Amino acid sequence: MQPETTTESSKTPPKEIIRLVDVHKHFGDLVVLDGITVGLRAGQTTVIIGESGSGKSVILKHIIRLLRPTRGEVHYQDQRIDLLPEAELAPIRARFGFLFQLSALFDSMTVGQNIAFPIHELTRRSHSEIEEDVKRKLALVGLDGTQNMWPAELSGGQMKRVALARAIALDPEIILYDEPTTGLDPPRADVINELIIKLQRELGVTSVVVTHDMASAGKVSDRVLMLYRGKFIFDGTPEEILRSEDQRVRCFVEGHCYEEDRRTL
Amino acid sequence: MITAIGSKTVSSVSALGRIGIFSWQMFRWLVPGLFQWRTWTRAMPLFYEVGNRTLPVILITGTFVGLVLAIQSYDQLRAAGFEDRMGVLVTLSLVKELGPVLAGIMVAGRVGGALTAELGTMRVTEQISALRVMGTDPIRQLVVPRFLACLLLTPLLTFFCDLCGSLAGWFIAVVLKGIPSQAYWYYVADAVETWDVSVGFGKSIVFGGGIALIACYKGFFCRTGAEGVGRACTESFVASFIMILVTDFFIGTLFTGLYVGIYGFKSLV
Ligand SMILES: Nc1ncnc2c1ncn2[C@@H]1O[C@H](COP(=O)(O)OP(=O)(O)OP(=O)(O)O)[C@@H](O)[C@H]1O
Ligand SMILES: [Mg+2]
């Protein structure tokens, strides 16, 4: 099975800002990524879909070097980042925003402090400027006024939105979203979709979105990748995926269960 | 059987290696951090936390150990005609051994476990990864201030433990058994030297730093899930406990040998 995932950089003008080259990731005996090669172009929104446990979060964590490949290479622009020591990663990571699947808000800090944290750590802005930034970012996700609440007092969906505000606090060039709309009510989820689109249009942000939400995928993406058993089995536009003949892709898109799973029931 | 022992040995040696690397990384941030205001502002709340959690138990422990030592030794000392010197026994045991060890164990139980749980939860909920993503070193951010708090507060707590114990010994000897207060303190002052006090505090500094490193290490690398955090806490306490007793033995042996080498044997009776 040779998936149609090799890069096509020669014919497309936007530069590939992130490249994974033959990335393998094993956890002990568990093979999660089994040779992934993909280039992500600047200014595009790429959606990664795939069943639960297929390794979508693992891919995002490789892009920001929270994980290192067992074998293979990860490039950011012209730099190979999978070999860099942790200390040299800080300036690169400052260009990224990362929305964690489980939000990962600091529970020893208030909502306001959580969003102020990256600004405080990586810039020299004054107190009042930071306060202003925090207010603006919270307003973007519809939560201005919650600055003094603690993460424990928020609902799961609210935490997710605070985490998103924190991820975009430094106006990153690249944003990695791990299931941004999971756990949100449909109108809220759509606000997040609009936000992703807005950030891309107005600021030229490059986004990678992991999601199970096909409506969201269709709306925000320029390109869809489907991960299945450690490899990409689909790479194309959101229109193409609807026409895909591949049974595994169709099951996912249409929300059917797989034939083999039905039989075991 | 032999392979089991072998693999157990290898894994404990590699665990020691990992904790060594962890400590080295911590020290690399610690030294420049000492001159940064931010380090101290991060550590301040932890000083309060450590002191607040442990001071009450330490005062109680110190007092009761002092009482018990005095009660247990009084009859024997009186039979030998040495009851005036009861203070020597109580105070010296506390200053050299019991104070640092008991304070260490209390810090390990009250603070070490809590630190492991806190950092373990941060690990499991990916807050530690979030710190890395935001370009901050989690060791500098989380471990350095906790290390400083334990390192600097354990000696202080030891001091309070020693103090309570000595006063409790005095209470038994002077108030209950009628030994003259002057004689009691005269012998204490005669027997307890700067050397003993320094070795005692030296130990407590080592214990405090060791507890912080073990607790933070266990939290940082704990397994996922609430069960992983619980297990890490237990392991952290047991490891700290063993570390305290083992280093106590080695430091004790080393410095007793040194003392005899420098000043010669000193009889207390
Ligand atoms: N740090 C880790 N150590 C060991 N195994 C891991 C680790 N991270 C992920 N895994 C394993 O890798 C596999 C893929 O995990 P991942 O979180 O990427 O799934 P996912 O595609 O994001 O799923 P979901 O949609 O449920 O979030 C899982 O089987 C998981 O157990
Ligand atoms: Mg995931």
Q: What is the 3-state secondary structure (H, E, C) of chain A?
A: CCCCCCCCCCCCCCCEEEEEEEEEEEECCEEEEEEEEEEEECCCEEEEEECCCCCHHHHHHHHCCCCCCCEEEEEECCEECCCCCHHHHHHHHCCEEEECCCCCCCCCCCHHHHHHHHHHHHCCCCHHHHHHHHHHHHHHCCCCCCCCCCHHHCCHHHHHHHHHHHHCCCCCCEEEEECCCCCCCHHHHHHHHHHHHHHHHHHCCEEEEECCCHHHHHHHCCEEEEEECCEEEEEECHHHHHHCCCHHHHHHHHCCCCHHHHHHC
Band (pLDDT 50/70/90 cuts) for residue A11 is low
Band (pLDDT 50/70/90 cuts) for residue A26 is very high
Q: Among all residues of chain B, which has the CA nearest to that of A176?
A: B133
Q: Where are the domains of chain B?
A: 61-259
Q: In what order do the strands lie in the sheet with A79-80?
A: A30-41, A16-27, A71-76, A79-80
> Nearest CA of chain A to the CA of B184: how many Å?
50
Nearest to A76 by CA among A165, A180, A208, A193: A208
| Residue B64: both structure tokens together | 């009761």
Ligand 1 contact, A53 CB (< 6 A): yes
pLDDT of residue A137: 93
pLDDT of residue A2: 46
| Partner-chain contact B127 A104, CB within 8 Å | yes
Answer whether residue B146 shows pLDDT above 50.
yes
Mutate to test the pocket of ligand 1, among A23, A27, A101 (most ligand atoms within 8 A of CB): A27
Tell me which residue in B121, B126, B135 faces A93 most closely, judged by beta carbons.
B135
Q: Where are the domains of chain A?
A: 14-91+210-265
pLDDT of residue B135: 85
Interface of A with B in 73-112 (CB under 8 A): 86-87, 89-91, 93-94, 96, 98, 100, 102, 104-107
Better-predicted residue by pLDDT, A13 or B164: B164
Residues with CB under 5 A from ligand 2 (ion): A 57, 101
CA distances from A234 to A17, A48, A250, A254 (A): 21, 10, 11, 15
Band (pLDDT 50/70/90 cuts) for residue A13 is low
By the 8 A CB rule, do A181 and A192 touch?
yes
- Section A243-251 average pLDDT: 87
Answer whether residue A8 shows pLDDT above 60.
no
State the CATH class of domain A14-91+210-265.
alpha beta
Band (pLDDT 50/70/90 cuts) for residue B99 is very high
- The mean-pLDDT minimum among A180-189, A216-225, B56-65, B96-105 falls in A180-189
- The mean-pLDDT minimum among A30-44, B182-196, B221-235, B255-269 falls in B255-269
How far is the C-alpha of B58 from the C-alpha of A18, rounded, in Å? 56
Band (pLDDT 50/70/90 cuts) for residue B262 is confident
| Partner-chain contact A121 B135, CB within 8 Å | yes
- Section B116-129 average pLDDT: 94
Residue A197 CA, chain-centre distance (Å), reads: 14
How far is the C-alpha of B259 from the C-alpha of B249, rounded, in Å? 15
Amino acid (one-letter) located at A156:
G
Q: How many CA atoms lie within 13 A of A33 on its CB side?
A: 26
CA distances from B183 to B71, B79, B268 (A): 18, 18, 15
pLDDT of residue A25: 96
Nearest to B139 by CA among B13, B19, B16: B19
A151 interfacial to chain B (CB closer than 8 Å): no
Whose C-alpha lies nearest to ligand 1, atom 26? A52
Strand A174-178 to A96-99 pairing: parallel
| Residue B97: both structure tokens together | 């051994």
Whose C-alpha lies nearest to ligand 1, atom 17? A57
pLDDT of residue A4: 46
Cα of A95 vs centre of ligand 2, distance in Å, is 22
What is residue B85's DSSP assignment? G
Residue A46 pairs with which residues in a beta bridge? A208, A223
- The mean-pLDDT minimum among A9-18, A108-117, B221-230, B239-248 falls in A9-18
- Section A181-209 average pLDDT: 89
Number of H helices, E strands in chain B: 11, 0
Band (pLDDT 50/70/90 cuts) for residue A5 is very low
How far is the C-alpha of A56 from the C-alpha of A4, rounded, in Å? 18
- Section A193-199 average pLDDT: 90
- Section A142-154 average pLDDT: 93
Contacts of A223 (CB under 8 A, 6+ apart): A44, A45, A46, A47, A235, A236, A237
Mutation pick from B126, B129, B137, B139 vs chain A, by most beta carbons of A within 10 Å, is B126
- The mean-pLDDT minimum among A211-215, A261-265, B94-98 falls in A261-265
Nearest to A227 by CA among A23, A16, A17, A13: A23
Q: How many residues does chain A have?
A: 265
By the 8 A CB rule, do A151 and A106 touch?
yes
Ligand 1 contact, A56 CB (< 6 A): yes
Answer whether residue A1 shows pLDDT above 60.
no
- Section A188-213 average pLDDT: 90
pLDDT of residue A33: 96
Whose C-alpha lies nearest to ligand 1, atom 30? A53
Question: How many CB atoms sit inside 10 A of residue A93's CB?
Answer: 23
Mutation pick from B28, B125, B133 vs chain A, by most beta carbons of A within 10 Å, is B133
CA distances from A208 to A37, A41, A136, A174 (A): 15, 10, 23, 8
Band (pLDDT 50/70/90 cuts) for residue A6 is very low
Answer whether residue A258 shows pLDDT above 80.
no
Task: For residue A212, give the ligand 1 atom closest to its CA.
Answer: 25
The residue written with tokens 């603690």 in the block is: A150
Answer whether residue B143 shows pLDDT above 70.
yes
By the 8 A CB rule, do A137 and A90 touch?
no
Whose C-alpha lies nearest to ligand 1, atom 6? A27
By the 8 A CB rule, do B47 and B53 touch?
no
On chain B, the residues whose CB falls within 8 A of the CB of A117 are: 134
By the 8 A CB rule, do B147 and B209 touch?
yes
Per-residue pLDDT of B46-58, as tens digits, reads 999 999 889 999 9
pLDDT of residue B269: 63
Contacts of B124 (CB under 8 A, 6+ apart): B222, B224, B225, B226, B228, B229
pTM, rounded to two decimals: 0.87
The residue written with tokens 């590699």 in the block is: B14
pLDDT of residue A233: 94
